[in-house]
Structure 1
Amino acid sequence: MSDQRLRRRSLALTSLIVLAVAGVGIGAVASISRVGPEDAATPRAHAAHSVATRVVNMPVDGMVCLSCAATIKQKLKAVEGVSNVEIVFAQRLFRITYFANRPDVPRRAAAAINNLGYKAGAPVQIR
């Protein structure tokens, strides 16, 4: 590749990152729960909120844009036992809430991230 083409590509990537950070805000947390407010009155939603949960922060290397984050979040929400996934984009990590009776969730979440081509860091238990 020519130097000029590399510079243009680098500038485009830098612009995307700047736009992504500006759109999310530094330190912002995006969260969408599996159980939405419209479901709060259902028995399933009530049961999901009464079950003991644990929370881990899982750093991810290679996540450079909001599209990457959305793809990873969608994959994490599909992991059985996960009740909520939040993106902490400024710190390049995911906050994963899972049911305490599923201690294998952090390992399976890391495998899901790695299977997408990103690199999951060691999960840090926060609750």
Structure 2
Amino acid sequence: MGLMTLSYRQALKGEEKTTSQQSLQGTAKTVIIPVKGMSCSACQANVKQNVASLQGVQDVTVSLEKREAKVTYTQGKVSPEQLVKTINELGYQAGKPVEAKK
């Protein structure tokens, strides 16, 4: 019985470690990315749809007026560099991502 208890405790410790590592990787961040070259609502929708399709992206707001994309994503699943690359591949010019103020 003592051996089973020890194994169970060790298993629990392993689960706790995995959970804490996942929570560090799974932290949501929000960045604002300047986007040059958008001229209409179709451009705005194109950027939004393509960025939103990336794994790890939780929310996207694209402002034609401000010429920027505000993206909330899960760290470890997608990076700001990948977001910029996706926007640039659409033919727009993405600027340097800046962390959004809370």
Q: TM-score, normalised by structure 1?
A: 0.56
Contact conserved, 2:47 with 2:62, CA < 8 A, in 1?
no
Offset of 1:79 from its aligned partner?
1.3
Runs of 4+ with deviation above 4 angstroms: none
Question: Is residue 2:30 matched to residue 1:55?
Answer: yes
Q: Distance in 1 between matches of 2:75 and 2:94?
A: 21
Aligned counterpart, 1:119: 93
CA displacement, residues 88-111 of structure 1 (integer Å, 9 cap, x when unaligned) = 221100100001333x52101111
Aligned counterpart, 2:68: 93
Contact conserved, 1:60 with 1:118, CA < 8 A, in 2?
yes
Identity among equivalent pairs (%): 34
CA displacement, residues 24-54 of structure 1 (integer Å, 9 cap, x when unaligned) = xxxxxxxxxxxxxxxxxxxxxxxxxxx5310
Question: Is residue 2:53 matched to residue 1:78?
Answer: yes
Contact conserved, 1:54 with 1:98, CA < 8 A, in 2?
yes
Q: Show structure 2 runs of 5+ residues with no match.
A: 1-25
Contact conserved, 2:31 with 2:99, CA < 8 A, in 1?
yes
Paired AA for residue 56 in structure 1: V
Q: Distance in 1 between matches of 2:79 and 2:60?
A: 12
CA displacement, residues 37-89 of structure 1 (integer Å, 9 cap, x when unaligned) = xxxxxxxxxxxxxx531000001010011100101111001112111001122
Q: TM-score, normalised by structure 2?
A: 0.68
Contact conserved, 1:82 with 1:105, CA < 8 A, in 2?
no
Paired AA for residue 85 in structure 2: A
Contact conserved, 2:57 with 2:74, CA < 8 A, in 1?
yes
Q: Show structure 1 runs of 5+ residues with no match.
A: 1-50
**For the pair shown, which has the larger CA radius of gyration, 1 or 2?**
2
Q: Counterpart of 1:114 in 2: which secondary structure?
A: helix
